[in-house]
Each structure stands twice: as C-alpha cells, then as structure tokens.
C-alpha cells in the first residue's frame, strides 16, 4: 500500500473537470430516510474509529488550519464524510455490560449521522444489542461480516458467518424485526475464492429487509493482502436494488472515481487510507465539486497530528499512548523524515512526552528535514 503523498501540491487530475462521483445517497427504511451527503463512509476499524478519531475526521480542515488563518479547506457538510461507523462491538458484551457501551459506543452529538457496528452469531443477543443501539440514538445499525481476525472467526463472528448462510438468514430477519432504524451489512465476498457467496448473501439480505450493503472486495483468506476485486462490487450492484457501497484499495480521489466508474456503486467506504491520509474525504468531495484537490503541507500535517494527540490525551481514554503510536505508524508515512518521527514517538512513555516530541519535530526548520 502506497502511503506517501507530496508535501504540497494542487492537483487537477481530471483537467479541472469535476470527478464523476455520487453527490449523495439515501438509505430507506420504512418511514426513516438516512441521507448521506456526500456518499462516502468511514469504515469501522477496531482500535481506531473511537469517538475521538471519528470527530477528528469530521474536523480535519479546521484542526489543520493555522491559528491566525481561515480553515485550510472550505467547510464541507459532515466534514466531507457522509456517514461514520463505530468500532465493531460484541453483541454479547454489549448486553452484559454497560462498560462495553461506554467504551465502544459513546458518541457526541456532532458525530451524526453515525452507525453502530455489531458482531455476533446469536440472534437473540444481536437483536437485544440492536435495540440498545437504537435507544442510544444511533442513526443505523450495521452487522459485521468482514472481520478476518481468528479470535472473532472462531466464535463464528465476523467473516466466519460467511460459511453459514442459513444462519445468516435468521440473523438478518431477527435484526430487521428488532429495530426500526436502517439495518446495513458490511461483508466480504466469501471465505476464499473457491467459496464466493457475495451474490447469494446480497440477495438474501435484501429479501430480509437489509437496507444497504458494503462489500469489502476481498475474501477472508486474503485478509488485507492482495488486490481488491472490484468486479465483485459491480456484480452485487447489479444483483440488488438497495444501495451498495464499495470498499477496498481506495487510497486517493482518483481511486474513488475509478471504483464508481468500474462498478456503478452508490458510495465509497474508506478504512485504512483514512488513517494514513485523514484529508481523503475532504479531497474526494472537493474534487467532485471543483475538479481539483490540494495536498496538505508539512505544517498542516504537524498541526493535525498535534490536535489529534491532544484530543486523545484530553479525552482520558484508556491506552491513549498506544493509540498515539498506532496513529503515528500510519500518518507519519505522509511526513518528511517520517521514520525519525515514528522513532521519537515509539520511545515515548507518556502522553505529554509524545506531544512534546511531535511539537519539537514540527518546529524544526524545514531545511533540516529530509525526505
């Protein structure tokens, strides 16, 4: 995965012609209408998409702007991202402990529209957890059928359920009956390439009342390796009438436009690329509107990293230092001399020490930094 971006660059990849990308999408569920404007989604990512990171994505342009200047980018609806999702949360854990809800499902009013993602294989537990999510005020509930982690799969959760379509049918029906808010599903194409189920699963989900689908165009066997097979997304789009979002290998606005052109999907879901390039939603929407987008400068990257770390420290979340180091592993690949920055962060032991080292790095004269 290429994580490197130029330090400062104005791009007009389509010759100043706006990209052909969907401006909005709508999820319909009875009397509910959930509008995504724009039609981009932040994928749920374990250990990353907590409330601090989600709000960070919404506020990227403002956080990166210099204190004495206007925002680095024009303010866009919802920060350029139409829908954000929580980390995946165990349905069993949620109904057994309020601590799980506080840790994984806490959200702020300015995070709307927001969906909660659940995983599990018991219809009763998933139904009760979905009712909890609805009562908490989430705009939608999503079922995880994509996580490839062994500890999740061995409990028949995540992508493990791709091997049991009859059970999935029962889970879809139970979840649909449990709540009135939109129900969505994020899934992989199958356990491996010899057992693809994406079309059968999509049709079954639609028949069960699922309101939208997001396909990560890889199999469980692939994990996050290899190339996403966008053809599978196009096949699902042709097979159902509900909205279909494409996920996999979208690293820049050009990729987003290519995915839409190739598959006809209704929207783009972005995961790991958002950690490397938090500006990606802003860039996609700016390109769609104007035909060009801008790459952030080194100083903007520094302000953004500091703002995120300061928010983590201020939130009093457990494991804040670990989250800082995790984010640095992704984000610093877009920074000049990023290896030295990562080393400085990895050896820090406290939140204040991490912040001080980031401040020191980005206040050096630009001539001292090497690519």
* Cα–Cα distance measured from residue 197 to residue 231, given in angstroms and rounded to the nearest whole number: 14
Under 8 Å between Cβ of 311 and 56: yes
Q: How many domains does the chain have?
A: 2
Torsion of CA 42, 45, 51, 54, to 10 degrees: -20
Same domain, 56 and 187: yes
**365 pLDDT tier (thresholds 50, 70, 90):** low
What pLDDT score does 157 carry?
A: 87
Whether residue 132 contacts residue 149, with contact meaning beta carbons closer than 8 Å, is answered with no
- Check which CATH number belongs to the domain holding 245 and give it: 3.20.20.70
**Does 4 map to a domain?**
no
**98 and 159, same domain (yes or no):** yes
Q: Is the pLDDT confidence value at 370 over 70?
A: no
Q: Do residues 266 and 277 both lie within one domain?
A: yes
Same domain, 330 and 214: no
The whole model's pTM is what? 0.91
Is there a single domain that holds both residue 319 and residue 286?
A: no
pLDDT of residue 333: 82
Give the per-residue pLDDT at 179.
Answer: 97
Among 168, 264, 238, smallest CA distance to 210 is for: 168
Q: Which residue has the higher pLDDT, 185 or 99?
A: 185
> In which domain, by residue range, is 108 found?
21-295
- Are 81 and 197 part of one and the same domain? yes
Mark whether 222 and 133 lie in a shared domain: yes
77 plus 193 within the same structural domain: yes
Q: What is the pLDDT of residue 132?
A: 96
pLDDT of residue 70: 56
CB 81 within 8 A of CB 51: no
Q: Tell me, what's the pLDDT at 73?
A: 57
Residue 15 domain flag:
no
Return the top range by mean pLDDT from 145-154, 207-216, 297-306. Answer: 207-216
**Amino acid 15: pLDDT:** 46
Average pLDDT over residues 166-170: 96
Does the pLDDT at position 6 exceed 80?
no
User: Rounded distance, CA 74 to CA 220, Å?
Assistant: 39
Task: Say if CB 329 and CB 367 are below 8 A apart.
Answer: no
Count of beta carbons in the 10 Å neighbourhood of residue 289: 16
d(CA 198, CA 20): 26
**What local confidence, expressed as pLDDT, does residue 141 receive?**
98
Of 83-92, 166-175, 356-365, which gets the smallest average pLDDT?
Answer: 356-365
Q: Where are the beta strands (DSSP E) in 53-139?
A: 83-85, 89-90, 114-119
pLDDT tier for residue 98 given thresholds of 50, 70 and 90 = confident
Average pLDDT over the chain reads 89
Tell whether 282 is covered by a domain.
yes
Q: What is the C-alpha to C-alpha distance for residues 193 and 202, in angstroms, rounded to an integer?
A: 17
The pLDDT value recorded for residue 16 is 47
Q: Which of 278, 355, 361 is nearest to 324 (CA)?
A: 355
- Within its chain, how far is the Cα of 260 from the centroid? 17
Q: What mean pLDDT comes out for the span 223-252? A: 96
Could you report the per-residue pLDDT of 262-304, keeping only the tens digit for each?
999 999 999 999 999 999 999 999 999 998 998 988 889 999 9
Q: β-strands 89-90, 140-145: how paired?
A: unpaired
How far is the C-alpha of 33 from the C-alpha of 77, rounded, in Å?
17
Q: Note whether 307 and 287 are same-domain residues.
A: no
Query: How many C-beta neighbours within 10 Å does residue 155 have?
Result: 15
Strands (E), 146-300: 183-188, 212-216, 244-247, 267-270, 293-295
The reply to whether 270 and 302 lie within a common domain is: no
Q: Are residues 223 and 329 in the same domain?
A: no
| Lowest-pLDDT range of 1-15, 110-124, 267-281 | 1-15
Flag whether pLDDT at 64 surpasses 60: yes
pLDDT band of residue 242 (cuts 50, 70, 90) is: very high
Are residues 101 and 167 part of one domain?
Answer: yes
Active site residues: 147
Using the 3D structure, point to which of 280, 295, 310 is the last residue of a domain.
295
């Amino acid at each position: 995965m290429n994580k490197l971006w130029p330090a400062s660059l104005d791009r007009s990849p389509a010759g100043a012609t706006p990209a052909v990308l969907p401006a909005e999408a709508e999820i319909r569920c009875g009397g509910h209408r959930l509008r995504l404007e724009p039609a981009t989604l932040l994928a749920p990512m374990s250990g990353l998409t907590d409330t601090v990171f989600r709000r960070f994505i919404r506020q990227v342009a403002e956080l990166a702007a210099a204190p004495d200047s206007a925002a680095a980018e024009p303010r866009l609806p919802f920060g350029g991202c139409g829908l954000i999702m929580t980390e995946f949360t165990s349905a069993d854990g949620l109904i057994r402990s309020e601590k799980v809800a506080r840790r994984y499902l806490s959200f702020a009013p300015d995070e709307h529209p927001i969906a909660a993602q659940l995983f599990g294989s018991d219809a009763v537990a998933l139904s009760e957890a979905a009712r909890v999510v609805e009562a908490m005020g989430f705009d939608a509930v999503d079922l995880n059928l994509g996580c490839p982690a062994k500890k999740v799969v061995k409990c028949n959760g995540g992508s493990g359920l791709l091997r049991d379509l009859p059970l999935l049918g029962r889970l879809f029906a139970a979840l649909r009956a449990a709540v009135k808010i939109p129900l969505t599903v994020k899934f992989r194409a199958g356990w491996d390439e010899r057992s693809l189920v994406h079309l059968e699963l999509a049709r079954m989900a639609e028949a069960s009342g699922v309101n939208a689908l997001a396909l990560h165009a890889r199999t469980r066997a692939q994990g996050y390796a290899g190339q996403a097979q966008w053809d599978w997304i196009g096949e699902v789009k042709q097979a159902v009438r509900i909205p279909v979002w494409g996920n996999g290998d979208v690293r820049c606005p050009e990729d987003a436009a290519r995915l839409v052109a190739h598959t006809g999907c209704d929207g783009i879901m972005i995961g790991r690329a958002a950690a490397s390039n938090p500006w990606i939603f802003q860039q996609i929407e700016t390109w769609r509107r104007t035909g060009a987008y801008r790459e952030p400068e080194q100083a903007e990257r520094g302000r953004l990293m500091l703002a995120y770390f300061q928010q983590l420290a201020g939130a009093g979340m457990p494991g804040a230092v670990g989250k800082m180091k995790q984010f640095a592993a992704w984000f610093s690949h877009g920074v000049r001399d990023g290896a030295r920055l990562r080393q400085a962060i990895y050896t820090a032991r406290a939140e204040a020490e991490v912040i001080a080292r980031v401040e020191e790095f980005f206040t050096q004269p630009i001539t001292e930094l090497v690519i």
